[in-house]
């Protein structure tokens, strides 16, 4: 039966969007003169309009993508908007050797070269996510908002604050501009998706500026519930807000203070049998719940001293919450959790260079607390109620010494010393009935309570690295990097038995080697890149479910090795072509659990090959067109790795027209409407990937 309150909600949504627009117009600076407004508009139009996923500069410590000695992908803010890449999962799904597994639209788990799959089960972090230098739970980041750049680094990242064995994702938000300016953007798309954003730069003085950005988005989701006769049971309603202050002092230092908030509330009607899920249909008798939100505060100071020494300090705190409840009809039980994660972090580093020697040294400290309850309530037949509180502390000292020993040659030796301590309090209440006489009918009640108090695990890891770089001129760059990768030990907070809960999994240690080469033509008209990598992991952490078996374990030995190829060609100034290919072999080499030998089995959600090609074309100063095609190979699904995802191809496109202060754009994702899956609890409980999505976006600059 149709929800009778839905028309009222739609009316309320229009009022909300209208109110946001009015408030944005009201808060824009009225003292801005016409000349300044015209200059701001011209500056926007003259920004690069051919953004390439594979070839974007990295304005970070004077380093560029071309000279970064690591596998790296950079996506700028314009690309995010034009291609409608709204989540980390949508970015990962369109990159070489990256993939995603997802319960819902708002909570993608990204994998890099097969690593990162257990982010929702483990209390260690394989692929950290940082926003303006501050760690935040990737599961709660939700919609990307007002970003200047997204950087995805592959392989162990030992010279960054949070250590990541599989890689690191940096989100950098937009700074305040030098002149008073603003933007209003409205969007409407498939599944009744509506979005409104308002942003403005407000100069407070010659040295101080403030950026304000707010947004709201609502969508019915892509699921048709035939039982309830509703198409909004996988909906979401989200709001975002950001304040960022930038001050440049007289000594040349830059102070940044930021406040970020996101709140998304929605249904959880995603799981269904394969036949229904493929058609984005459901027969659940209720919509469930999937709410996520986070609040983050950051503060940083950067200064370049006269001698060339650079100081960078970042302090931050974040709180994220994930309320995840499946429809009760799925298991005829109330099943889900309300998880809260709090993080404090500090990152300080010095870098310098004198003649042929360059150096860097840094200190990172992080404190994390996660409250992770889990309820499976099928009373009176069976109830499992667990509650875990995990507290983690990480301290790391890291540094690197580089030596340019010959023209074009540089050798850099680095070391990271990291200490981790994880503590957990855990309680499990199990109750229900058991079959005492073997007749197949539960007849005897039982109730048990088990606890684990202040169990802990500690580890200090020494992680060296060695990098050899060759750069004979600004068109060639090659490197070889050796590193020791590491993932901290911890516990499975969702264990249901004492012996599982108190059994800490071992830290993962890895030997990593990477070879890379980049070559570009004169006037930056073309560029080629190749990266080969090999990761040999010892005691690889396996947390969650494998082939239907829940486990907290370590695989004695595993590997991930492969190649990534990228290319870009600009035959004329108005046209850019780019392409990539990724090949990865990620398997267990020595892993036996409960009598089952998993040796030779590939990691879930890790296609052995992925290919992509894109075109960006500006036939006229006012027109911007783009097409991207990505092909993913065959893979198994997580967490039930017995279910296979067939190869599939995604086709995206966008067209944008700009005139004066106004622009209008049309975008499309998965235009071929291919059917694929992103999650599988069993053969009868799968989550389908996003169907065809099209939309139109209109914006106006002030």
**Residue in the structure block whose two tokens are 């944005």:** 24
Q: What is the pLDDT confidence band of residue 700, given thresholds at 50, 70 and 90? A: very high
8, pLDDT greater than 60 = no
Residue 21 is predicted with a pLDDT of 36
| Confidence at residue 555, expressed as pLDDT on a 0 to 100 scale | 92
Q: Which residue has the higher pLDDT, 103 or 113?
A: 113
Q: Which of 290-304, 354-368, 387-401, 641-655 has the lowest mean pLDDT?
A: 641-655
Highest mean pLDDT among 43-47, 59-63, 500-504: 500-504
Tell me the pTM.
Answer: 0.87
3-state SS, residue 82? helix
Q: What is the mean pLDDT of residues 222-245?
A: 96
Torsion of CA 682, 683, 686, 691, to 10 degrees: 160
pLDDT recorded at residue 341: 93
| pLDDT surpasses 70 at 57 | no
pLDDT at 14: 44
Which domains are delineated in the chain?
62-701 (2.40.170.20)
Q: Decide: 457 and 447 in contact? Cβ < 8 Å.
A: no
pLDDT, residue 499, reads: 86
Confidence at residue 20, expressed as pLDDT on a 0 to 100 scale: 37
Query: If you average pLDDT over residues 567-574, what whole number do you get?
Result: 93
What percentage of the chain exceeds 70 in pLDDT?
89
Distances, alpha carbon 441 to alpha carbons 329, 444, 448, in Å: 22, 9, 20
More confident: 165 or 11: 165
Query: What residues does 260 pair with on adjacent strands?
Result: 242, 296
Question: Six-digit token pair at 700?
Answer: 């106006």
Q: Is it the case that residue 550 has pLDDT exceeding 60?
A: no
Q: Does position 34 have pLDDT exceeding 70, yes or no? A: no
CA distance 173 to 169: 13
Instruction: Specify whether the CB–CB gap between 544 and 572 falls below 8 A.
Output: no
Which range among 26-30, 90-94, 290-294, 326-330 shows the weakest confidence by mean pLDDT? 26-30
Q: Which two tokens stand for residue 429?
A: 């209440």
Helices first, then strands: H and E counts in the chain: 6, 37
Of the two residues 1 and 307, the one the predictor is more confident about is 307
Q: Quote the longest CA-to-CA distance of the chain.
A: 88
- Of 129-143, 239-253, 471-485, the one with minimum mean pLDDT is 129-143
Output b/e per residue, 212-236; b: 16+ Cβ within 10 A: bbbbbbbbbbbbbbebbebbbbbbb
Q: Per-residue pLDDT tens for 415-440?
A: 999 999 999 999 999 999 988 888 88
- The Cα–Cα gap between 606 and 223 comes to 26
Cβ–Cβ under 8 Å, residues 134 and 345: yes
- Count CA atoms within 13 Å of residue 18 on its CB side: 6
Q: What percent of the chain has pLDDT over 90?
A: 70
* DSSP structure string for 577-609: EEEEEEEEEEEEEE-EETTEE-TTPBPTT--SE
Helix, strand, coil share (%) of the chain residues, nearest 5: 10, 60, 30
| Average pLDDT, integer, range 255-274 | 95
Cα 552 from Cα 124, distance rounded (Å)? 12
Phi and psi (nearest 5°) for 276?
-75, -45
Asked if 416 and 363 count as a contact pair (C-beta separation under 8 A), the reply is: no
Q: What tokens appear for 544 in the block? A: 């969650």
The residue among 139 and 116 whose pLDDT is bigger is 116
Q: What's the whole-number average pLDDT of the chain?
A: 87
Tokens at residue 82, please?
A: 């034009």
Distance between CA atoms of residues 576 and 596, nearest Å: 50
664-691 pLDDT, tens per residue?
Answer: 999 999 999 999 999 888 778 899 999 9
The one-character DSSP state at 646 is P
Altogether, the residues listed in the chain come to a count of 702
């Amino acid at each position: 039966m149709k929800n009778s309150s839905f028309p009222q909600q739609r009316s309320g949504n229009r009022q909300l969007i209208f109110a946001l627009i009015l408030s944005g117009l009201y808060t824009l600076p009225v003292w801005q003169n016409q000349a300044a407004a015209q200059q701001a508009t011209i500056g926007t139009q003259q920004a690069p309009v051919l953004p390439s996923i594979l070839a974007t500069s990295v304005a970070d410590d004077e380093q560029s993508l071309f000279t970064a000695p690591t596998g790296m992908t950079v996506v700028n803010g314009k690309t995010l908007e034009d291609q409608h890449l709204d989540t980390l999962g949508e970015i990962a799904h369109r990159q070489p050797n990256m993939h995603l597994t997802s319960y819902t639209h708002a909570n993608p788990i990204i994998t890099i070269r097969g690593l990162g799959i257990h982010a929702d089960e483990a209390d260690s972090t394989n692929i950290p996510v940082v926003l303006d230098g501050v760690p935040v739970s990737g599961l709660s980041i939700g919609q990307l908002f007002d970003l200047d750049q997204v950087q995805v680094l592959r392989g162990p990242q030992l010279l960054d604050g949070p250590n990541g064995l599989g890689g690191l994702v940096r989100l950098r938000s937009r700074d305040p501009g030098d002149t008073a300016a603003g933007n209003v953007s409205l969007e409407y798309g498939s599944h009744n998706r509506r979005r409104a954003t308002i942003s403005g730069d407000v100069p407070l003085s010659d040295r101080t500026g403030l950026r304000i950005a707010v947004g709201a988005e609502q969508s019915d989701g892509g699921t048709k519930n035939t039982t309830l006769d509703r198409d909004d049971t996988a909906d979401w309603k989200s709001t975002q807000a950001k304040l960022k202050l930038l001050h440049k002092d007289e000594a040349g230092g830059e102070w940044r203070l930021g406040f970020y908030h996101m709140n998304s509330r929605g249904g959880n009607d995603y799981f269904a049998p394969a036949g229904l899920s493929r058609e984005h249909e459901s027969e659940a008798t209720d919509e469930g719940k999937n709410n996520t939100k986070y609040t983050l505060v950051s503060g940083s100071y950067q200064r370049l001293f006269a001698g060339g020494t650079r100081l960078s300090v970042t302090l931050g705190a974040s709180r994220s919450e994930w309320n995840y409840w499946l429809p009760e009809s799925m298991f005829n039980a109330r099943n889900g959790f309300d998880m809260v994660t709090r993080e404090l972090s500090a990152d300080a580093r010095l870098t310098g260079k004198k003649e042929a020697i360059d150096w860097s040294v840094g200190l990172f400290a992080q404190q994390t607390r996660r409250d992770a309850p889990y309820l499976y309530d099928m009373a009176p037949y069976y109830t499992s109620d667990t509650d875990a509180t995990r507290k983690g502390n990480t301290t790391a000292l890291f540094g690197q010494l580089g030596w340019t020993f010959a023209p074009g040659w540089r050798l850099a030796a680095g070391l990271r010393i990291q200490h981790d301590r994880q503590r957990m309090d855990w309680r499990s209440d199990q109750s229900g009935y058991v079959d005492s006489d073997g007749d197949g009918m539960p007849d005897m009640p039982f109730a048990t309570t088990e606890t684990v108090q202040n169990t802990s695990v500690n580890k200090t890891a020494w992680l060296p690295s060695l990098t050899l770089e060759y750069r004979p001129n600004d068109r060639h760059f090659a490197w070889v990097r050796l590193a020791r990768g590491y993932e901290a030990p911890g516990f499975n907070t969702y264990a249901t038995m004492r012996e599982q809960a108190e059994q800490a999994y071992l830290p993962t240690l890895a030997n990593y080697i990477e070879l890379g080469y980049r070559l570009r033509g004169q006037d930056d008209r073309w560029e080629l890149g190749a990266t080969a990598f090999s990761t040999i992991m010892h005691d690889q952490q396996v947390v969650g479910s494998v082939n239907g078996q829940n486990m907290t374990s370590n695989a004695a030995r595993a590997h991930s090795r492969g190649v990534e190829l990228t290319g870009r060609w600009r035959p004329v100034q108005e046209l850019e072509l780019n392409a990539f290919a990724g090949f990865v072999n990620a398997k267990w080499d020595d892993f036996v659990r409960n009598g089952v030998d998993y040796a030779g089995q590939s990691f879930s959600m890790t296609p052995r090959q992925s290919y992509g090609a894109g075109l960006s074309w500006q036939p006229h100063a006012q027109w911007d067109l783009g097409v991207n095609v990505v092909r993913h190979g065959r893979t198994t699904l997580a967490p039930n790795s017995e279910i296979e995802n067939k190869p599939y191809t995604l086709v995206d496109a966008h067209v944008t027209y700009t005139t004066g202060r106004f622009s209008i754009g049309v975008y499309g994702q998965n235009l071929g409407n291919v059917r694929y899956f992103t999650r599988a609890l069993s053969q009868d409980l799968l989550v389908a990937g996003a169907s065809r999505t099209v939309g139109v976006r209109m914006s106006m600059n002030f």
